[in-house]
Chains A and B, each alone.
Chain A
Amino acid sequence: MKLDMHCEMILDKYRKKLPVFEKLRSIVTERLQQYLDENHIIVAGIDSRIKTEQSLTGKLELKGYKYHSLDDITDILGVRIITFFSDEVDVIAAIAEKLFEIDWDNTVDKRKMLEIDRFGYMSLHYICRLPKTLYEDPAMPELNEIRFELQMRSTLQHVWANMQHDMGYKTDVEIPREYQRSMTRLAGILELADEQFSQIRKDITEYRRKVQSLVASGNFDEVPFNGDTFRSFIALNPFRRLVDKMANINHAEVYDDSLMPYFNVLLLLKMETIGDVVRMRNDYSDSAYQLALVQLAGTGLDILASSIALQNLCIVYILKKGFGEAGLVRMFDTLYGKNDYNVQSAERIFKQAHRVNII
């Protein structure tokens, strides 16, 4: 179909303005990414595109009569932010409102447009302008005049939109009636899943907050032993006194390494609460120190990894509980994987422990 003169003029203006759209695209995506980075907000992705001439021609063929000029077409530049969770879409919307001028007259929250008997899974679209406060180039004043579309949606909303698009339907009304029920069910599942993901995340955050407060308050017997609670516990530096005492043997420097590898060892030792770990520390710190003394004194080794304290505590615990050399081999297998050195290390440590009356 041939375009009329009015539409040809719009198309001609589009071609001339392409460099401005490219520049606008780069500024908008850069500023968005910069703001997200500065505020430690992680999103699943930021996409952008400039409408192709072919696509614009198609749009003008269909409804060119609606547009007085190119400026009336607000989606020549489209930017899309995909969040992990649906409740983050509102956070991104608030950021967009802070960064850009929103054309509220032309902005619609498509999420609220769905009627109860219709299906679909839509995103939030804002029509925006780049404010001079964010970027200004006197040589390109159009940068602050052109409107662009900012789409914000969750990953599952994105999945829905892509699937629908892949099947060749741009809107829910175009779907043949015999398939509408199947699509409605699918949309419902995705929407429910999105809500559930957000809810689970909220619940986990709440749980972590509660556990951190229990750990901080010292109610260790009430704190179940798991990866989260152990992480919170070790953040309190609970083995520091023992590490420093061991370091004093050779006036050693201490390198702070992670204690998380010992989580699996403590699981193996059947720790049920953080209180159990605290009791192990309180009951066996002296023996763990004696073991370090026999191992380090006279060696001149003046650098230690901070994990040495927990390592020796676990060794002493294993031996005191009667698990013997086999228990030490299991501990080393858990930490380093099965290998011959573990058996040799266990034998040597068993003899040293004997010498300082740990067993």
Chain B
Amino acid sequence: MKTTIQEQDGKMVAILAGSLDTAAAPETEKAMSPLNDVEGKDIIIDCTELEYISSAGLRIFLGILQNVEEKGGHVYIKGINENVRTIFTITGFSNIFKFM
């Protein structure tokens, strides 16, 4: 599992590649933790190369969303594949996040 954080056009972008399963979750959470310090910027989670997401991964996404919304920002999910999208749909998480 690879996580890259970079700034693009005034937004923070987290690029995830691989399988975000329970085993990979702690390391990914740590890699994404700088997003919790972001003030006044929207966050894009680029899932183009994300193959799978577990409940632990959904919890990481939810934590980021709650933190950003508290500061008045938004979180967008980009480039999600059908497999990951299905997980979002059957858990109701597609009702929580915005997709682009």
Contact B85 A311 (CB under 8 A): no
Chain A hits for B80, CB < 8 A: 341
Contact A344 B96 (CB under 8 A): no
Contact B58 A303 (CB under 8 A): yes
Chain B hits for A287, CB < 8 A: none
Chain A hits for B48, CB < 8 A: none
Chain B hits for A345, CB < 8 A: 85-86, 89
The answer to the question of A301 belonging to the interface, with a C-beta cut-off of 8 Å to chain B, is yes
Whether A301 contacts B95 in the complex (CB less than 8 A), given A295-B90, A345-B85, A345-B89, comes out as: no
Contact A339 B99 (CB under 8 A): yes
Chain A hits for B93, CB < 8 A: 305
The answer to the question of A308 belonging to the interface, with a C-beta cut-off of 8 Å to chain B, is yes
Residue-wise interface mask of A (330-355) relative to B, using a CB-CB cutoff of 8 A (1 in contact, 0 not): 00000110010100110011000000
Chain A hits for B67, CB < 8 A: none
Chain B hits for A295, CB < 8 A: 90
Bound CA span A148–B24, Å: 65
Contact A296 B99 (CB under 8 A): no
Per the CB 8 Å criterion, the residue count for chain B at the interface is 19
Per the CB 8 Å criterion, the residue count for chain A at the interface is 26
Chain A hits for B82, CB < 8 A: 341, 344
The answer to the question of B15 belonging to the interface, with a C-beta cut-off of 8 Å to chain A, is no
Q: Which of B85, B86, B89, B91: most chain A CB closer than 10 A? A: B91
Contact B54 A301 (CB under 8 A): yes
The answer to the question of A302 belonging to the interface, with a C-beta cut-off of 8 Å to chain B, is yes
The answer to the question of A257 belonging to the interface, with a C-beta cut-off of 8 Å to chain B, is yes
Contact B85 A301 (CB under 8 A): no
Contact A348 B55 (CB under 8 A): no
Bound CA span A348–B85, Å: 11
The answer to the question of A39 belonging to the interface, with a C-beta cut-off of 8 Å to chain B, is no
Chain B hits for A349, CB < 8 A: 89
Contact A307 B95 (CB under 8 A): yes
Contact of B92 among A302, A304, A339 (CB under 8 A): A304
Bound CA span A230–B80, Å: 32
Beta-carbon contacts under 8 Å, A271-311 to B? 292, 295-296, 299-308, 311
The answer to the question of B87 belonging to the interface, with a C-beta cut-off of 8 Å to chain A, is yes
Contact A308 B55 (CB under 8 A): no
The answer to the question of B11 belonging to the interface, with a C-beta cut-off of 8 Å to chain A, is no
The answer to the question of A255 belonging to the interface, with a C-beta cut-off of 8 Å to chain B, is yes
Chain B hits for A296, CB < 8 A: 90-91
Whether A341 contacts B87 in the complex (CB less than 8 A), given A304-B92, A305-B95, comes out as: no
Contact of B91 among A261, A308, A339, A348 (CB under 8 A): A308
Contact A307 B92 (CB under 8 A): yes
Contact B95 A335 (CB under 8 A): yes
The answer to the question of B36 belonging to the interface, with a C-beta cut-off of 8 Å to chain A, is no
Chain B hits for A307, CB < 8 A: 92, 95-96
Whether A257 contacts B99 in the complex (CB less than 8 A), given A301-B87, A345-B85, comes out as: no
Contact B99 A311 (CB under 8 A): no
Supply 19 further A-B pairs (C-beta < 8 A) apart from A257-B96, A302-B55.
A255-B62, A257-B92, A295-B90, A296-B91, A300-B55, A301-B54, A301-B90, A301-B91, A303-B58, A303-B59, A304-B92, A307-B92, A307-B95, A307-B96, A311-B95, A335-B94, A336-B94, A341-B99, A344-B85
**24 cross-chain CB contacts under 8 A:** A255-B62, A257-B92, A257-B96, A261-B95, A295-B90, A299-B90, A300-B54, A300-B55, A301-B54, A301-B55, A303-B55, A303-B62, A303-B91, A305-B92, A305-B95, A305-B96, A306-B92, A307-B96, A308-B92, A335-B95, A341-B80, A341-B85, A344-B82, A345-B86
